[in-house]
Structure 1
Amino acid sequence: MEPVPVETSKRHGSGLAGWSIEHPIGVTMIALAVIVVGIFSLSRLSVDLLPRLIYPEISVRISDPGVPALVMEDRITRFVEEQLAITEDMINIQSSTSQGRSSVDLIFPYGKDIDIALRDASTRLDRARRLLPDTIDQPTIFKRDPSQIPVMQYAISSGLRSPVELRSWVEDVFSKWFINLPGVAAAEVGGGLEREIQILPDPVRLAGLGLDVDDVVEALLRNHREDPSGRLRTDRQEISGRISGRFDSVEALAGLSIELPAGGQVSLDDVAQILDTHKDERLRIRANGTPALQLSIQSQPDANTISVANHVQERMHWLSDQGLLPTDIDIYPITDQSIYVRQALNNSVLAVVSGALLAMSVVYVFLGNLRRTLIIGSAIPIAVMVTFVLMGLGNLTLNIMTLGGLALGVGMLVDNTIVMLENIYRHQREGESSHDDAANAAAEVNSAILASTSTNLAAILPFLFVGGLVGLLFRELIITISAAVVASMVIALTLVPALASRVLTHKTSRFRHLIDRFINILQTGYANLISQVLQFRWPIPLVFILLLLVSLPTFISGSQTFLPTLDDGQVDLRVIGDPDITLDEMDRRVLIIEQLARQDPDVDSVFVVSGGFVWGRASREAANQASMTVQLTSLSERQISSQQWINRMNQQIAEQQLAGIQVRMRQRGIRGIRTSTSDDDISVRIQGPELDVLDSLAGETVNRLEALPGIQNLGYSSEEQVLELDFKVDRQRAAALGIDVQDINEALIMALEGRVVTDFYEGGRGYDMRVKLPEHLAEDVQDLESVMLFPASEGRQTLYLGDLAEVDLTKAPGNILRDSQMRIVEISASLVDGYPLGEVLAAIEVALVGMPLPDGYSRFDGGAAQTLKEGQKLTGVLLLLALFLVFVVMAVQYESLRNPLVIILSVPFSAIGVAGGLTLLGMPLSMPVWLGMIMLAGIVVNNAIVLVEYIELQQDRGMQRDDAIIAAARLRLRPILMTTMTTVAGMLPLAIGMGEGSEMLQPLAVAIVFGLSFSMLVGLLLVPVIYSYFHPAMRKAQRFSQAEPYVAS
């Protein structure tokens, strides 16, 4: 190609727009390349509900089955806390101790490299492990992140196999099919009965032969083993040896010989009963009324939720097609996180597409020309594709935040192209050549486009430097909006001039004439209104100031919450029974509640765990507790919200008058989001040394709070109690017989729980081998005193428990909480639907005023209250920073202070529209609303910039101040209406709230839609008045802008 002559280049203008006009093919091909690369990037983006959230927390779990909570706290929790408390950069340590389970959580500041913290904590835990009791299971340590929540859960049942056989098949066969799938971290099995070999010695028979239980254990350990036997070295090779001494069947085990003190031998089955049975049943699981096991599929931290679910479902279909699933086994899903993720993302995509169509419809109505509408609309898909490319480079995921960012920005994307195209069209009508008009028009509006984009970015980019949960949640949304807005600016300066210079004509249609006539009527009426306003200026500012004062209570003392609630239809139900309730009694009561739920037409599935809970790899066993997960049908299939369903179910349960239990239900929070270390909406914590005092203070607190409106499921942690056997040893008698407390405890353990002494291997799998006394010897508390502890020996008669100790049945704490290595009691509750968190927290604070606390005890917030206060403080600072930066950008852009001040003073009045929208729709003030107001600071100035720029231009051309204001008001009305209405139309689907997942960003969109709509009135009415006050009739201020703005058609 021949080079373009220099004269031509100068004639067509310089800069990015001028180059684009001269290279239309190049610009078009670059745009096409961006679309192709964007589609490629889109195909490679991970998909999830929310951005990746890695909380700065590390959890340690230690199990020692059967050990009371007080003993666990003393022997394990305190010691682990002391060892881990010196982990570098840790800011707090919290723990929860229950029977047989200790959980310690380390909390770090946001921004801490959690992988480094995990290595440090793991090293310290390894050192501490050597000093912990030998009876504990291997401690586990892991990062707290949403991947701990199972992606999918299956219920597995069989009408033919025993619970033991079913559990063995699921563990040994079925679960193994999933652990090697891409993105799958673990396949955890819960419930059912685990196989166990039990040896039940007859203490009377043993005593008659001069033996005791220890002799049985010793014989097992010495004869049931497989050990290395050294190596045989020959001239050619070296061969390792081992002794195969394990019994390979229960029958062979029964023939184990035990040496008698008097000589001779006795076989094991002569002195003990040998059972191929199962561990004690402590959990009962049902899925939709059928006894079942639970298989939980957990994903890797960076895995794609939908992709993992697809792989799991494909494997299920493959197993079925290959005939690898036995016909007697039923497998059905309990939960599938991908279903809600898909629905939420589909709704977000729908919001983007429908918003784009609405925005383009508005553009077409104003322009009345399809060709010009399509040129403007080209900014949307290209800017979206640029955003996808940047998301891929930035390792972002496709989630409701990034898609929500596109849905929020889709209306804003056409603003710059509208400015550019309208000015080009005006020049065409004035008779310039197609190339010259595009170049000149582009030069006129470069400054306005740059200023508009700069103010948008100045308001929101500081959000990227915010840490904490707010930063984790909204950073990707801000990045997405920023990328799309910058892309739209580049498109307005390149592709739009290139296309407009070649395909636009100044011909107008009949429809356009009608639109122009209507706009002219509006312009004339508006100009007359401004003429009257300038003669009587003071009422306008007064009215707006009064409206602002009226709206202020919405932001100061109005309804407040941290985040809106996503209604995914999952309801968690927890049942707490009296301490003396048995597993069977608890299960009977739970079954009644389960049947009520299953009969409800809005319920899709019910999953029940009696005796505790099972959640992925976590579980807790307590006979007097139960948990239930109810999955409601989708929002489109039911007429009520999850909270309304809870209210209805609570009433039905109350009518059953179930004695001895408390039922608490709550809507499950947003998957993967933890606004505090507490799982409840409301948490008040009292710290102090004595459990009895803490329990009393918690009871008094509950009494003060139970009458408050807006709270439900009120309770406190220390009310979880269990029955405990308290053995009081007669130390003098024991010492006289040469027996110490440890000897008695070892004998008691063997009588009550038994000990796992070794493993029994069969089919390549190991099973516990437990030695314990027969259960019929101690079926009730009264039987314990007659349990033989020590058989008769030389110089000593047979000793029973009643000879050495008294047995008392007492109540003990079921769960002990600690914070900063001190005991606490937590008073918790959930919100009633419709009651804002801030309002309820204020009522709680008033109710607890005057409640005395003893010396050494303190009270503090442990739930979302602190997070809410921190979030409000942070967003307040960010809002002020946004206003300052927007002012700075305008001052730098235009080398003026007076007019930027005129514009920035109009921004706060957009809060009137926000307050009106929240009040009209009954929405509380939340973090998304604050973010919307911060974004408004950069958006609402655009209309004022357009108006003030043209006022300045008209005065430079010789008009008096008031005449210039009236002329600018008339000519700027069309672009102000267009840009405002396209932005509002683009966000409208998100503000309406279209289906699942829309609840998170709906308040943000509502804030912008109502705030921007009202700010249009501010720009049209108040800005001219403010300008007139800041500028005397004889204008002396310097120019606002050196670039001549476009003139609307």
Structure 2
Amino acid sequence: MKTTHYAVHRRLATSAIVVALVVLGLYGLWRLPVDYLPNITYPLVKVQIKWQGATPEEIDTNIADPLERLMSTVDRLDYLESSSIEGMYNLNVYFEYGANVDIAFQDALAALTRAQQHLPKDIEAPYVYKADPSQLPVMQLTVSSDRWTAVKLRDWADHWLQDRILAVRGVAGAEVVGGLEREIRILLNPAAMEKHQLSLDTVIKHVAAGNVEQTGGRVTVGPKEVIARTMGEFTTLEDIRTIVVAGEGHRKAYLRDIAEVIDGHEEARLMTRFNGRESVKISVLKEAEANTVRTAEAVRRLLGELKAELPEGLQLDYVEDQAVYVKQALAGVRNAAVAAAALLIVVVYLFLGSVRQVVVMIIALPLTLVLNFGLMKLAGFSLNIFSLGGLVVAIGVVLDNSIVVVENISRLRRAHPNQDASGHAVDATTEVGPALVAATLSFLALFVPFLIVPGLTSLLFRELILVIAGIVVISLAVAVSVTPMITATLFGGKHQQRTSGWFEHLFARFTEIYGRVLEGIIGWRWVVAPVFLLVVAMAFALSGRVGGEFLPLIDDGRIIVKVKMPTGASVSETDRALRRIEEQIKGDPLIQSAFTLAGGYVKGLTTYEVANEGQVDIQLIPKAMRTISTEQYVARLRKVVGQLQPPGGKAMVRQMPIKGIHGMQASDIVVQVRGQDMETLADLASRTSRMISDLGRFQNVLVSMDLSKPEYQVKVDRVKAAELGVQVADVASSLRSLISGAVATRFRDGAEYYDIRVLVPEERLTCRQDVENLTLTCAQGDALRLRDIATVVPASGPVEIIRKNQVKQITVEADIAGGDLAGAVRELRRALDGLERPAGYLFDFGGRAEMMADMKKTVLTVLAFALFFSFIVLTVQFNSLKLPGLILGSVPVCLSGVVFLMLLTHLPLGATVIIGVLVVVAATVNDGVLLLTYARDLEAHKGLTPLRAVVDAAKIRLRPRLMTTVTTMIGFLPLALNLEEGGDMLQPMAVAAIGGLGMEMLVALFLMPCMYAIVSKSSTQIVEAKISATKVQSLENC
């Protein structure tokens, strides 16, 4: 090969090029960002609209309906998903994978603009943003104090700490949750308002008119211009209290006559604690391109510097620091790579028996990996669990090409000891070069489907696949250039005998025995082939017992205890239930921290306010410091929490799934019950919940909503209202403002502004009669009570309304009590098929079950394309259809090893397993190409019969084939043992690869020669095709 000839004969120039590339690779490594997951850009746009005091039904009718009708018309839309809860509407607009996120965002924004004319006028400005897993917090910390009030604590976090965190390089935002936001409250007295014939609108207008600071214009005074300004802003609460709201002269009514003005806080709808102390939580978000580890460490440094400035009694604690786990996980994968490399070198030394040849491998291995870092930087990749996993996977195959070259050089040196080292290097590399190129192309063809098949699975593993592909290409370049150059340099031209030792004698004996066994097996080839087919049939029959899931749970110590009280329960009731759980886990040495949220739940970046829900987020101590796994601790905690079930409510313990991947929910199963009528849906969801519980395989069964949220429904008498000049909309608007409050203006305190909210205080609204006595205004300006034009009726309504593609749905969540996700889904599907349901109502699966179903489709598509592309490459290589069919026909036998070992280790088949499967297919193709190419060469150049040629080729290629397979298995071994933090994700892949490669070794050693003998259609017996003793000795020495 010209490349080899140039590298061997121009060693200095080649070395200079290699050094330059190494420098670039090291620079790329230094500049690579560090993260846990690849930078996955989801084609997802989120819309969030707040409507103070609105019920879920109001939001569904007035916001969801008009907005989703227009949003459904955007290009490349996949589906819509929305949630309407009290006071808030959230819409997720999912686009097809591959859609341009920026264009999708602009399309969604345009649809929202068109819809705004149909939306209520008193909603807050819609918040629209592109979703990105990198927006998940890189750090969460809490601020607590035993001296400060919740108001002062929140105010300090909002206006002092948050500003300093936002100034850190790489930080994109800081979300503050908990405490109480300060606001000036004007608490109305309905009786006093009625006495002075005042309505809410009148009060608001007077308050707003009394708080004005405005420029009047310029006045020229001699040579100067002077600005005239009206300074009418409130400076004290007394300024607000003395506003005249009615009358004149001595009969004036001041605001203090009809209301109490206090420096207070918003309504307490969320309660937060850290390790039992009331606290405020701050979630730090990084910029999309920022390095997770560096950003988190920069925030830590800042907080360390600020400790000296903290007020006395204030305490900062860390709830979660992604940098810590990322570093531990990446260190675990890195250690696995180092261990694999060390074992690899030992195995290579055993097979080659020469220190100098091992030196060649020691140089080729890190050189290939370092050069790949440069490619990763050019491609915009990061160092993450998947890209490093690609490095570990590639370590097993990175030396395959160099092993074949070095082994062939050694064979030629023994056969032609008088030839110089440069000649050996060039001739040996040229001899195997075409086979190496074909095998590499076949290997790469297996991974091409990941670039063309859409879906989350393909997107998630793209960096891992491209890293493997890059390393394989570089390893080929190194094998045909640097490896022969170094070999020629180290061996100088003198023949070095292979080091004699126990392993060498043992392997020579093994080769001799293998040759005789293979000859006998080929004689029974028509029996051997059916035996392997029987193995495939057994694997297929047992495959149903292997569990299935999308991605394995990570042993990172994150646990959630979720509490759902009866519908209508107050925040304080929910908080009491959570406090009982806190008392039980207090002092547990395995728990590092516990963060409690009462009155809501967290989903993604959003904290939802739901009074009857709450959660305790538990973080265990690091994996290395505990003797039990997160899964085992969850099982133990479930027994404790099971004894603390709140009356009429439910407390559930779950291990948290991996963050940053859309659709990964804490619950194992999510059944979507879909239809239009809420009452019918609620009944069907209730029956579904009971049916799932009765199956006995599930626990923590939970219906997302019911229709029992107590409410007062105001029914307006339209005739009476019309007579008094009152519109229904006026009644609704006034009622919301009186109960939930209306912001009249803002109060300035230093550099900060706080809302001035006008409302009737909660203590004056304790029963239905208090609501009926609320004061409204008629068209003539006179005051009237609500009961004059409406009746107030007790009723119930939904807590939350969820829609998917404009169709309402209720979700039923459940966890698996035993077994695997795939088996549970199959059983549940059969049960749901037998459940009676009205026409137009259907069941669907979401969450991890839906992701697993999509993963299966993607995996089968990828595997089909991979085999197709490999067949095309092999057909071009051999100019034959038989040999490619022979090689790829043995793939199912190799994959049976995957099933057997996964079943033995009780690991489920998941998305990562496809990588192990493709490595097995690649090894099968590689070994097949090397074996059959050499067998055909022996037929063509030595005149051997096909049977004799395949036996001799199998013996000659035994050493490099065993080396490549064993080294690949060794490369996966550290990940398969999962001894380090962060290995959970890649363990199934490694186990699958080892199982498949073990079976592939048997296929390559025995089945493939038998199949070659069958397709060759030769009737010549091996014993009749004996070769001269000299030729036999020559071939065996090879």
TM-score (norm 1): 0.93
Matched to 1:82, the amino acid is R
Matched to 1:164, the amino acid is V
**Does 1:387 pair with 2:372?**
yes
Question: What corresponds to 1:903 in structure 2?
Answer: 887
Give the SS at the match of 1:417: helix
Give the SS at the match of 2:757: strand
**What is the distance in 1 between the residues matched to 2:352 and 2:589?**
51
Question: What corresponds to 1:91 in structure 2?
Answer: 78
- Partner deviation per Cα, 1:4-51 (whole Å, 9 max, x = no partner): xxxxxxxxxx51111111111222222222222111110101111111
The equivalences for 1:469-488 within 5 A come to: 469-488=456-475
Assess, with a 3 A threshold, how the Cα gap between structure 1 residues 202 and 968 changes in structure 2: closer, same or farther.
Answer: closer
Asked whether the equivalents of residues 297 and 616 of structure 1 are also in contact (C-alpha less than 8 Å), the reply is no
Question: What corresponds to 1:425 in structure 2?
Answer: 410
Matched to 2:643, the amino acid is E
Question: What corresponds to 1:79 in structure 2?
Answer: 66
Question: What corresponds to 1:134 in structure 2?
Answer: 121
Residue among 924, 932, 944 paired with 1:948: 932
Question: What corresponds to 2:600 in structure 1?
Answer: 612
- Partner deviation per Cα, 1:700-758 (whole Å, 9 max, x = no partner): 11122113354332222223753212233455555565555445445544542332111
**What is the distance in 2 between the residues matched to 1:451 and 1:762?**
75
- Partner deviation per Cα, 1:559-585 (whole Å, 9 max, x = no partner): 222222222221223211112322222
The equivalences for 1:735-884 within 5 A come to: 739-781=726-768, 783-785=770-772, 787-789=773-775, 800-832=785-817, 835-884=819-868
Assess, with a 3 A threshold, how the Cα gap between structure 1 residues 254 and 915 changes in structure 2: closer, same or farther.
Answer: same
Give the SS at the match of 1:94: strand
Deviation at 1:940, TM superposition (A): 1.5
**What is the distance in 2 between the residues matched to 1:1033 and 1:200?**
101
**Does 1:346 pair with 2:327?**
no
Asked whether the equivalents of residues 574 and 598 of structure 2 are also in contact (C-alpha less than 8 Å), the reply is yes
**What is the distance in 2 between the residues matched to 1:692 and 1:380?**
65
The equivalences for 1:227-306 within 5 A come to: 227-232=214-219, 241-260=228-247, 264-306=251-293
Asked whether the equivalents of residues 200 and 773 of structure 1 are also in contact (C-alpha less than 8 Å), the reply is yes
Which deviates more from structure 2 when the two are superposed, residues 199-208 or residues 813-822? Answer: 199-208
Counting matched residue pairs gives: 1022
Matched to 1:125, the amino acid is L
Residue among 308, 312, 324 paired with 2:295: 308
**Does 1:53 pair with 2:27?**
no
**What is the distance in 2 between the residues matched to 1:49 and 1:103?**
28
- Partner deviation per Cα, 1:801-825 (whole Å, 9 max, x = no partner): 5555443333210010111112122
- Partner deviation per Cα, 1:55-87 (whole Å, 9 max, x = no partner): 111110011122111111111121221232222
Residue among 976, 983, 1000 paired with 1:991: 976
When the two chains are superposed, the root-mean-square deviation of aligned CA atoms in Å is: 2.7
**What is the distance in 2 between the residues matched to 1:776 and 1:1019?**
82
**What is the distance in 1 between the residues matched to 2:542 and 2:220?**
88
**Does 1:644 pair with 2:624?**
no
Question: What corresponds to 1:965 in structure 2?
Answer: 950
Question: What corresponds to 2:529 in structure 1?
Answer: 541
**What is the distance in 1 between the residues matched to 2:536 and 2:463?**
32
Give the SS at the match of 2:143: strand
Assess, with a 3 A threshold, how the Cα gap between structure 1 residues 104 and 241 changes in structure 2: closer, same or farther.
Answer: farther
Asked whether the equivalents of residues 82 and 92 of structure 2 are also in contact (C-alpha less than 8 Å), the reply is yes
Asked whether the equivalents of residues 218 and 227 of structure 2 are also in contact (C-alpha less than 8 Å), the reply is yes
**What is the distance in 2 between the residues matched to 1:406 and 1:348?**
9
The equivalences for 1:373-452 within 5 A come to: 373-429=358-414, 430-431=416-417, 432-452=419-439
Residue among 567, 570, 582 paired with 1:582: 570
Which deviates more from structure 2 when the two are superposed, residues 174-183 or residues 678-687? Answer: 678-687
**Does 1:939 pair with 2:923?**
yes
Question: What corresponds to 2:653 in structure 1?
Answer: 665
Question: What corresponds to 2:701 in structure 1?
Answer: 714
Matched to 1:70, the amino acid is E
**What is the distance in 1 between the residues matched to 2:484 and 2:278?**
69
Residue among 530, 536, 550 paired with 2:538: 550
**What is the distance in 2 between the residues matched to 1:401 and 1:651?**
36
Asked whether the equivalents of residues 575 and 664 of structure 1 are also in contact (C-alpha less than 8 Å), the reply is yes
Matched to 1:778, the amino acid is L
**What is the distance in 1 between the residues matched to 2:513 and 2:781?**
117
- Partner deviation per Cα, 1:429-473 (whole Å, 9 max, x = no partner): 331122222222222121222222122112222322222101211
Matched to 2:214, the amino acid is D
Residue among 27, 44, 47 paired with 1:40: 27
Question: What corresponds to 2:1028 in structure 1?
Answer: none
Matched to 2:437, the amino acid is L
Asked whether the equivalents of residues 150 and 299 of structure 1 are also in contact (C-alpha less than 8 Å), the reply is yes
Question: What corresponds to 1:6 in structure 2?
Answer: none
Question: What corresponds to 1:503 in structure 2?
Answer: 490
**What is the distance in 2 between the residues matched to 1:446 and 1:791?**
92
**What is the distance in 2 between the residues matched to 1:458 and 1:211?**
79
- Partner deviation per Cα, 1:905-939 (whole Å, 9 max, x = no partner): 32221012111111111122222223322232222
**What is the distance in 2 between the residues matched to 1:1048 and 1:721?**
85
- Partner deviation per Cα, 1:202-235 (whole Å, 9 max, x = no partner): 4444554555554433321222122342455789
Gaps (5+ residues) in structure 1? 1-13, 1037-1044
**What is the distance in 2 between the residues matched to 1:746 and 1:424?**
88
Give the SS at the match of 1:178: helix
**Does 1:596 pair with 2:580?**
no
Gaps (5+ residues) in structure 2? 1022-1033
Give the SS at the match of 2:592: strand
Matched to 2:756, the amino acid is M
Asked whether the equivalents of residues 34 and 382 of structure 2 are also in contact (C-alpha less than 8 Å), the reply is yes
Asked whether the equivalents of residues 746 and 755 of structure 2 are also in contact (C-alpha less than 8 Å), the reply is yes
Matched to 1:1013, the amino acid is G
Asked whether the equivalents of residues 576 and 720 of structure 1 are also in contact (C-alpha less than 8 Å), the reply is no
Assess, with a 3 A threshold, how the Cα gap between structure 1 residues 737 and 461 changes in structure 2: closer, same or farther.
Answer: closer
Deviation at 1:775, TM superposition (A): 4.2
**What is the distance in 1 between the residues matched to 2:683 and 2:978?**
46
Matched to 1:28, the amino acid is S
**What is the distance in 1 between the residues matched to 2:726 and 2:874?**
88
Deviation at 1:684, TM superposition (A): 2.1
**What is the distance in 2 between the residues matched to 1:914 and 1:774?**
67
Give the SS at the match of 1:809: strand
Matched to 1:820, the amino acid is N
Give the SS at the match of 1:484: helix
Deviation at 1:411, TM superposition (A): 1.8
Assess, with a 3 A threshold, how the Cα gap between structure 1 residues 721 and 359 changes in structure 2: closer, same or farther.
Answer: farther
Residue among 505, 508, 522 paired with 1:517: 505
Assess, with a 3 A threshold, how the Cα gap between structure 1 residues 943 and 720 changes in structure 2: closer, same or farther.
Answer: farther
**What is the distance in 2 between the residues matched to 1:793 and 1:111?**
57
**What is the distance in 2 between the residues matched to 1:984 and 1:283?**
53
**What is the distance in 1 between the residues matched to 2:60 and 2:179?**
29
Asked whether the equivalents of residues 717 and 827 of structure 1 are also in contact (C-alpha less than 8 Å), the reply is yes
Give the SS at the match of 2:29: helix
**Does 1:919 pair with 2:919?**
no
Asked whether the equivalents of residues 298 and 616 of structure 1 are also in contact (C-alpha less than 8 Å), the reply is no
Which deviates more from structure 2 when the two are superposed, residues 958-967 or residues 901-910? Answer: 958-967
